[in-house]
Structure 1
Amino acid sequence: MATTRPTPDLGLFLTPEAASYPDLLRQVDAAERGGLDLIGIQDHPYQARFLDTFALIATLLAKTERLRFLPDVASLPLRPPALLAKQAASLDVMSGGRFELGLGAGAFWEGVAAMGGPVRTPGESVDALAEAIAIVRAAWSERSVRFHGDHYTVDGFRPGPPPAHEIGIWIGAIKPRMLRLTGRLADGWLPSSSYVPPSAVPAMTSEIDAAAERAGRDPAAIRRVYNVGGEIADGPVRGLLQGPPEHWVQTLSAFGADLGFDGFLFWPSGGDTVEQIERFAAEVAPAVRAAAA
């Protein structure tokens, strides 16, 4: 029997700028007050301007009661999977089940190497991600974890604590091999409109769906959440996601109905950021939910 898609996730995509930390707190507070669902935060540890994403998520989880958080997406080459699994489970336990794990195979390899991480070819990075997913899932469900791979080896470590809920692993994937891995192994897909325009989505979802079916999985069980940048602005429509609230509602609802997205993380690109978030929460998100229902 096919999986019924749940209510869309509506939330924010944030940049962890250290200089903007007080404003980040105001943005997350606006999302919490406005009834949004999910916050995704970039993870680029080699970026000198950025706070550590996992430390920031821990702080924000402690300051909120409803919102769920995830790295969007975690830089795997700099975060060993056994420790990553423990960090994720710990955040989930401490927040009462409000953490999901976004994972990426790696990017900006010069920065990764400068911090002592491995430099991998595209093929190696996909293989390493598959190994990491196996280790992370085992760490959340088994008493002792052994895994011997080409990129990661763990030899009988005892994981814990167990997560408070079944944490999802969501993948930032663009290229075909990563898309097939998403369909085969992941719980969700996290593309960004800046890299994946709407016109490119159907071919990518076809790759994910076909891989899921080959693996004996229901493609509808894989969440698809779109990071979308733009500005909510009264007056005429000035671009795909540049216009009044009703334009946003129509566009995001069409992305859901026609492209299969289960949710959207808003990345404000103009105007007062807190005001943009308040408008998204009050004037866009409820109507998108209603249209999906």
Structure 2
Amino acid sequence: MPERRTVFGAGVSTAVTDAPETLRLAAQADRQGLDLFSVSDHPYFADRLDAYSILGVALGRTTTISGLVSVTNLPSRPAPMLARTITSLSTLTGGRIVLGIGAGGLWDDIARLGAPRLGPGAAVRALEEAITLIRALSGGGDPVTFDGEFYQVTELQPAQVAPVPIWTGSVGPKSLAVTGKLADGWIPGHAADWLSERYRTSRSIIDEAATAAGRDPKDIATIYNLPGRITTTPLTTTRDHDGRWLGGSAEQWIEELTGAVLEHDAAGFVHFETGDAPRDITLGRWAEEIVPAVREATVHRL
């Protein structure tokens, strides 16, 4: 199997009041060599910026970094139009886009947008249809006709652009199985990490579904949203009583993440600062101290 390059990113705010800082941080992450920046997607809140508007503007101001919506609120973004959004951004940026996608969660808020309210089973079926259709609408080829339970298109020409990676934010067993069957990556919910019970029980479902679909489970990457402080001195305890990562000094981060890659097959990390330090300083420490050291320590992983 070829070597897999570990992905490193940073989460940025979607708050309207943080808009100038969000764009500055995305540009800084690009200059300092990170692989991606991510934003959340909550279009029902007026104090949040639209996620794909942020991606479009930020990617237009950067050169190498990719953008990720973690994760796209599928019920509010119908799959055929989401496919066009993704392929358009990929074309405009030279492929610097990853599609994060989820079945939907805050249904009371989603319903306020006018989107149909779906039960858990229906939401997962819609997710599976969406991934299938979005893939079909990229890569060129013959016109697509799709007559699904939730999506229908007729003789729709696929975009002449390569399919983008698709990462899910699946949580429940059925959506985890969809991840194993169809997705390229998985972002564990609730910022769970490689030592959590959520990871252990969920990843096995993904692997079983991948095997049943004739896929190699190792082809489905696990990328972690990882909140935590980056401190100037080591912390006595880097995890709380529930085992959740708190952070620590750069050296403590390097040791923890290197172990996650080499011992637990972690494929990537998106950092979210939880302390009071200035965001540009924290981002610089993440991108210029921690990330290069972990890359160097794990460069020969298989």
TM-score range, shorter chain: over 0.9
Give the alignment partner of residue 248 of structure 1, picking from 248, 253, 256: 253
Fraction of identical pairs, as percent: 36
The answer as to 2:288 corresponding to 1:279 is no
Identify if the C-alpha distance between structure 1 residues 284 and 210 changes in structure 2 by more than 3 Å, giving closer, same or farther.
same
Asked whether the equivalents of residues 99 and 166 of structure 2 are also in contact (C-alpha less than 8 Å), the reply is yes
Task: Determine the C-alpha separation between the residues in 2 that align with 1:274 and 1:198.
Answer: 29
Measure how far apart 1:245 and its partner are: 0.3
Q: Distance in 2 between matches of 1:221 and 1:12?
A: 23
Amino acid at match of 2:89: L
Q: Which residue of 86, 91, 94 maps to 1:93? A: 91
Q: Which residue of 1 aligns with 2:107?
A: 109
Of 76, 79, 90, which residue of structure 2 is paired with 1:78? 76
Matched residues in 1 for 2:252 and 2:266: separation? Answer: 17
Q: Separation in 2 of the partners of 1:176 and 1:259?
A: 21
**Which structure ranks higher in relative contact order (CA pairs < 8 Å, sequence separation ≥ 6)?**
1
What is the CA distance between 1:22 and its match in structure 2? Answer: 0.8
2:126 aligned with 1:128, yes or no? Answer: yes
Note the C-alpha offset of 1:168: 0.8
Indicate the larger mover: 194-203 or 42-51: 194-203
Distance 1:193-1:292 versus aligned 2 partners, 3 A rule: farther
Bigger shift: residues 87-96 or 148-157: 148-157
Which stretch of the first structure deviates more once superposed, 137-146 or 241-250?
Answer: 137-146
In the other structure, the counterpart of 1:268 is 273
Conservation of the 8 A alpha-carbon contact between 1:174 and 1:196: no
Please list, as runs of the form range in 1=range in 2, the aligned pairs for 1:129-208 lying within 5 A after superposition.
129-141=127-139, 142-160=141-159, 162-163=160-161, 165-192=162-189, 194-195=191-192, 198-200=195-197, 201-208=199-206
Counterpart secondary structure, 1:106: coil
Determine helix, strand or coil for the equivalent of 1:140.
coil
How much is the aligned-residue C-alpha RMSD, in angstroms?
A: 1.5
Rounded to whole Å, the distance in 1 between the matches of 2:47 and 2:192 is: 22
CA distance in structure 2 between the aligned counterparts of 1:113 and 1:195, rounded to whole angstroms: 28
Matched residue type, 2:228:
G
Match of 1:63 in 2: 61
**For the residues of structure 2 that align with 1:180 and 1:288, how far apart are their CA atoms?**
31
Which segment drifts farther, 70-79 or 196-205? 196-205
The DSSP-based 3-state class of the residue aligned with 1:100 is strand
Q: Distance in 2 between matches of 1:30 and 1:193?
A: 27
Provide TM-score, normalisation by structure 1: 0.94
Unpaired runs of 5+ in structure 1? none
Amino acid in the other structure paired with 1:285: V
Gaps of at least 5 residues in structure 2 are 239-244
Label 1:292 to 1:196 Cα distance change in 2 as closer, same or farther (>3 A). Answer: closer
* Native 8 Å contact 1:188 1:225 kept in 2: yes
Aligned with 2:296 (options 281, 290, 293):
290
Choose 116-125 or 145-154, whichever is displaced more: 145-154
Contact 1:128 1:151 in 2 (8 A): yes
AA partner of residue 165 (structure 2): G
Report the Cα distance in structure 2 between the residues aligned to 1:43 and 1:216, rounded to whole angstroms. Answer: 32
2:34 is matched with which residue?
Answer: 36
CA contact (8 A) 1:233 1:244 kept: yes
The aligned counterpart of 1:8 is 6
Mapped to 1, the partners of 2:286 and 2:216 lie a distance apart of 32
Contact 1:43–1:71 (Cα < 8 Å) also in 2: yes
Cα contact 1:176–1:207 (8 A) shared by 2: yes
